[in-house]
Amino acid sequence: MSGEFLLLLAIIAAAGTFVSLAAIALPSRQSETMGGARQGSQALHGGRLEAGNLRDRIDRSFHGVVERGNRRRLKVTGLTLAEHLARADIKLRSSEFVLIQLGCLIAFALLGLLRFGFGPQFIVSAVGAYLIPMRVVKYRQRKRLMKLDSQLPATLGLLSNAMKAGFSLPQALDSVAHNTAAPMADELSRMTREMAVGASLEQALHNMLKRVASDDLDLIVTAILIHKSVGGNLARVLDGISDTIRQRVMVKSQISALTAQARASGWIISLLPVGVAGILYVIAPTYFRSLTTEPLGVAMLILAAVSIAVGNVFIRRITRIRV
């Protein structure tokens, strides 16, 4: 690879870093307005909150970056960064999460720069590190959703028994929130707090559904809202839904156990060549030099990557059975 091309990549990377730092250092007008309002509020409260609080400084500095990212995410996923963090049950502000992303980007960019110098490896390592925190958020969202779905049958049973004992629906929800485990207890407690400060039952249920995004929970919310409109025996309806969800959870568990070996084999076969190649490339960069500089070597790498990706897609399609 020619020195001129490496120099061009280095200039592009430096320009991108400068633009990012400038965007961070120059918050939007909205953030300045919010910062002024916060300072006025702090003065009115007799200085109980320090103006130089570190978390507030980070929030004000990254407010413009967060807002621009939220506008892009709303177009793609319909959710803001704060809503993504809420779904993963991560107690961080959006600005703090962006700071973590930038920290990963800078740290891995420096490592790539020290190990490989100015080159595509430096850029790839920086971009890959920037994407790692969001991958962790997605992973935690999936794990939390699976745990919530597994808790739904027992939660519905407790809710039905509380209503049979004479509790109203809000009282039954509050009782279940104190007698079940997290994360279901956290969601129900938040919903009861929203109703306590003036939110309606419909609004609190829709907010919980937006945070959780579970098909089974959507069925429960729909049943509760229909009962609120037309009446009926809600406890009996919840018992029926509980039996249906319990059977679905059982079938999902059986399918997961039967396809576990195939799914593990697919990921091992897909990641093993990439992992071994990456380790060898870091330890001995000259080992792969012919594959990255010769046309035949580049074609072989592209063919290998396409073959691995196609195989992984086929295995995932085969083992993904919707219930």
SS3 58: helix
Task: Tell me phi and psi for residue 75, to 5 degrees.
Answer: -70, -30
What pLDDT does 46 receive? Answer: 45
Asked if residue 121 lies in contact with residue 160, where contact means CB atoms within 8 angstroms, the answer is no
H/E stretch holding 87 reads helix 81-87
Query: What would the two tokens of residue 292 be?
Result: 């990255």
Task: Name the token pair of 139.
Answer: 């992973």
Report the pLDDT value the prediction gives residue 139, as an integer from 0 to 100: 92
C-beta of residue 169 within 8 angstroms of C-beta of residue 202: no
3-state secondary structure of 190: helix
Structure-block tokens of residue 32: 């300045």
How far CA 149 is from CA of 142, 160, 183, 185, 244, in Å, comes to 11, 17, 10, 13, 12
Task: Count other Cβ atoms within 10 Å, centred on residue 157.
Answer: 16
R_g (Cα) of the chain, nearest Å: 26
Q: Residue for token digits 């959507």?
A: 218
pLDDT of 41 reads: 43
User: Inter-axis angle of helices 29-44 and 63-76, to 10 degrees?
Assistant: 120
Which residues make Cβ contacts (< 8 Å) with residue 154, sequence separation at least 6? 180
| Length of the chain as a residue count | 323
So what's the pLDDT on residue 140?
92
* CA distances from residue 254 to 28, 247, 250, 259, 323 in whole angstroms, order as listed: 52, 11, 6, 9, 11
C-alpha 8/C-alpha 14 separation (Å) is: 10
Amino acid identity of 195?
M
| Residue reference for tokens 């020290």 | 114
Mean pLDDT of successive 10-residue segments in the chain (323 residues)? 48 52 44 43 45 67 77 80 86 86 87 76 83 91 90 90 88 89 89 90 88 87 87 86 88 87 88 86 77 83 90 87 74
Kindly report the pTM of this predicted structure: 0.70
Lookup result for tokens 């279940």: 176
What the block records as the tokens of 55 is: 């978390």
Residue tagged 């980007």 (tokens): 105
Q: Tokens 């007698």 map to which residue?
A: 179
Please tell me the predicted confidence (pLDDT) of residue 306. Answer: 92
CB atoms within 10 A of CB 319: 18
